Chains A and B, each alone.
Chain A
Amino acid sequence: MSDYISTTLILLPFVGTALVAAAVLGVLAGVLGPLIVTRNMAFSVHGTSELALTGGAAALLAGINVGYGSLIGAVVAAVILGLLTRKVSEHDSVIGAVLAFGLGVGVLLLSFYEGNSANKFGLLIGQIASVDPGSLVLLVSAAVGVLVVLALIYRPLLFASVDAEVAAARGVPLRILSPVFAVLVGVATALGVQTVGSLLVLSLMITPAAAASRVTASPVVATVLSIVFAELAVLGGIVLSLVPGKPVSAFVTGISFLIYLICRLVGVLRARRIGSGRGMASAHLAPSRS
């Protein structure tokens, strides 16, 4: 225990920056997550995160900030996916095709890079330890930008996500909202790639929201829970990873998956409760069933 405290104290300056970055990312992932889950975009997030890696690899090779590289990569990916996908039914295949190609390009770019191999690995599993004040400014401003735009489009976006036909009938511009949201997700994904890495970005963007959707049907409560779960996973993951000195990602994904399992269990019990309540109500209405 004293070991733990002393290690924590030594690492405090870096831990402070990392925790702030992680907390910002947690809010972003928590807010976007329920909409991503509702829109069935988990695979799209995965694809975008791999292409953020391609952008990061290109930046690494060019010697510029990897953060900008992955940001550009993810936004370009979001736009390409949006442009190529005309119908929902072809969404998965488009992502699969673009993702595979983009990842191939990323691998090729990394093979040209002759610097520190930890930098390469960092793109895959994250390097939250390396978040410097400059990256923090980029992270916070990008996150604020995403949240402001999201606040502006939140209601029409929710409407379009749960009920596209009626939303369109009421005048919600579906064609504008989809690509705008894809870009927001792209930006958030790129920021996630920086911290937890492209392989594990799903554990922050998807898992907390998927867990929340198991225990509540209210979009607002789901968003709040999703933020709480994402923060628990990312902050808890960082703190737990300090002493063993193992990758942050392993702990982040571990915590978020544990939360997911618990929520599934709670969800089963809840569905049973609602089901039995409704069963009783209809039995009450049914004629002469004593």
Chain B
Amino acid sequence: MTTDALVDAAPVTAPAAALRMRGARLAYGSRVLWDGLDLDIRPGEFLAVLGPNGSGKTSMLRVLLGQQPLSAGEVSIAGSPPGKANAKIGYIPQQRSIDPNLTLRGRDLVGLGLDGHRWGLGLRGRAERRLRVAAALAEVGASDYADHPVGLLSGGEQQRLRVAQALVGDPQLLLCDEPLLSLDLAHQRVVSDLIDARRRAAGTAVLFVTHEINPVLPLVDRVLYLVNGRFRIGTPDEVMTSENLSELYRTPVDVLRVRGQIVVVGAHQESHHCADTTPSPEVRP
């Protein structure tokens, strides 16, 4: 197992990486989102992907889901190329409003996470399916409203169901696309704790895309910080420093620690201006 300077030394007998990237590059024309990216996510590891809008966070998810090919390099998910591995991936999207008239119960939403990708009616194994769905609902505390129309539930309740939907298939890799966005603090806590509990219990690797690290800061093992073609990988303490972020953003940035939270000052205004300029791919950690 080759390691980055900042990656923890892995034991020789480490299980196969849930996610492995080697020399990964993604570029649209002359616009390089990231290049030379080597990344391993161990089973059970929690990796937060941070960065301003347009830095390629969402594109990374698209690559891992096989919806966007790499410009160069290799990527594998639990040993399979992207696109062949989707059944091993659990996906938690952003919370967004659901049509109140949608003919779908929480129970059905979770069931689709289990076998919605399979062809046919799936008439065999109904009893086992019911049990697994019920267990997933119970795991996230959604049993009480599992039979209500999903469109009538609150955003927090819907997001719990999304977590159950992603976990019910026992994924090896959990991809989260800003799953806490538009949730209140209490539900941010509930949802991130549910994800944390699963990765500790079942060794599910977590790749958590977010623009705000604080709600998940206690859970994060490592951070991948992307800015305009440059990136840093390491623990939050290693990456989230004034020096590192100033280099990434190419502008003076102050990283402050306030009551266990990380406050980044000076990056956000600049990031929007930088997003359209052609980044220099030669700068790497």
Q: Which residues of chain A are near B122, meaning CB under 8 Å? A: 155
Q: Which residues of chain A are near B117, meaning CB under 8 Å? A: 155-156, 159, 167, 170-172
User: Are A163's CB and B67's CB within 8 A?
Assistant: no
User: Are B113's CB and A170's CB within 8 A?
Assistant: yes
A153 to B91, CA, bound (A): 21
Please provide the 7 A-B residue pairs with the shortest distance between their CB atoms, ordered closest to farther.
Answer: A171-B86, A159-B116, A169-B91, A217-B149, A170-B117, A213-B103, A159-B112
Q: Which residues of chain A are near B152, meaning CB under 8 Å? A: 271, 274-275, 278
A41 to chain B, nearest CB (A): 14
User: Are A155's CB and B120's CB within 8 A?
Assistant: yes
Q: Which residues of chain A are near B65, meaning CB under 8 Å? A: 168-169
Contact of A170 among B116, B145, B148 (CB under 8 A): B116
User: Which residues in chain B, 46-94, are within 8 Å of chain A measured between CB atoms?
Assistant: 65-67, 83, 86-87, 89, 91, 93
Contacts A162-B109, A167-B117 known; 19 new A-B pairs at CB < 8 A: A34-B103, A151-B120, A152-B119, A156-B118, A156-B119, A166-B93, A166-B162, A167-B116, A169-B86, A169-B91, A170-B87, A170-B117, A171-B83, A171-B86, A172-B117, A217-B105, A219-B108, A274-B149, A275-B152
B92 to chain A, nearest CB (A): 8
Give the interface centre of B65, B104, B149 by most chain A CB atoms within 10 Å. Answer: B104
Verify if B5 is at the interface (C-beta below 8 Å from A). no
Q: Which residues of chain B are near A159, meaning CB under 8 Å? A: 112, 116-117
A163 to B144, CA, bound (A): 22
Q: Which residues of chain A are near B175, meaning CB under 8 Å? A: 169
A272 to chain B, nearest CB (A): 11
User: Which residues in chain A, 2-44, are within 8 Å of chain B measured between CB atoms?
Assistant: 34, 37-38
User: Which residues in chain A, 161-211, are within 8 Å of chain B measured between CB atoms?
Assistant: 162-163, 165-172
A154 to B108, CA, bound (A): 14
Q: Which residues of chain A are near B127, meaning CB under 8 Å? A: none
Q: Which residues of chain B are near A278, meaning CB under 8 Å? A: 145, 148, 152
Contact of A219 among B104, B118, B148, B166 (CB under 8 A): B104
Q: How large is the interface on A (under 10, 10 to 19, 20 to 34, 35 or more residues)?
A: 20 to 34
Verify if A158 is at the interface (C-beta below 8 Å from B). yes
Contact of A274 among B113, B148, B150, B165 (CB under 8 A): B148
Mark A34-78 against chain B: 1 for CB-CB distance below 8 A, else 0: 100110000000000000000000000000000000000000000
17 contacts between A and B (CB under 8 A): A38-B102, A38-B103, A151-B121, A154-B120, A155-B112, A155-B116, A155-B122, A158-B112, A162-B104, A162-B109, A165-B93, A166-B162, A169-B93, A170-B91, A171-B86, A213-B101, A274-B152
Q: Which residues of chain B are near A281, meaning CB under 8 Å? A: 144
Q: How large is the interface on B (under 10, 10 to 19, 20 to 34, 35 or more residues)?
A: 35 or more
Give the interface centre of A156, A222, A281 by most chain B CB atoms within 10 Å. Answer: A156
Q: Considering the complex, give the chain A residue whose CB is closest to the CB of B83.
A: A171
User: Are A156's CB and B86's CB within 8 A?
Assistant: no
Give the interface centre of A38, A155, A218, A222 by most chain B CB atoms within 10 Å. Answer: A155
Q: Which residues of chain B are near A34, meaning CB under 8 Å? A: 103
Contact A219:B165 (CB < 8 A) given known A159-B116, A170-B86, A170-B117: no
Verify if B4 is at the interface (C-beta below 8 Å from A). no
Verify if A85 is at the interface (C-beta below 8 Å from B). no
A171 to B91, CA, bound (A): 11
Q: Which residues of chain A are near B101, meaning CB under 8 Å? A: 213-214
Q: Which residues of chain B are near A167, meaning CB under 8 Å? A: 112, 116-117
Contact of A153 among B119, B166, B169 (CB under 8 A): B119
User: Are A171's CB and B87's CB within 8 A?
Assistant: yes
Q: Considering the complex, give the chain A residue whose CB is closest to the CB of B123.
A: A151
Q: Which residues of chain B are near A271, meaning CB under 8 Å? A: 152
A286 to chain B, nearest CB (A): 13
User: Are B116's CB and A219's CB within 8 A?
Assistant: no
Q: Which residues of chain B are near A166, meaning CB under 8 Å? A: 91, 93, 112-113, 162, 165-166
Give the interface centre of B67, B103, B147, B166 by most chain A CB atoms within 10 Å. Answer: B103
B262 to chain A, nearest CB (A): 29
A162 to B149, CA, bound (A): 12
Give the interface centre of A159, A167, A222 by most chain B CB atoms within 10 Å. Answer: A159
Verify if A241 is at the interface (C-beta below 8 Å from B). no
Mark B251-264 against chain A: 1 for CB-CB distance below 8 A, else 0: 00000000000000
Verify if A119 is at the interface (C-beta below 8 Å from B). no
Q: Which residues of chain A are near B121, meaning CB under 8 Å? A: 151, 154-155
Verify if B193 is at the interface (C-beta below 8 Å from A). no
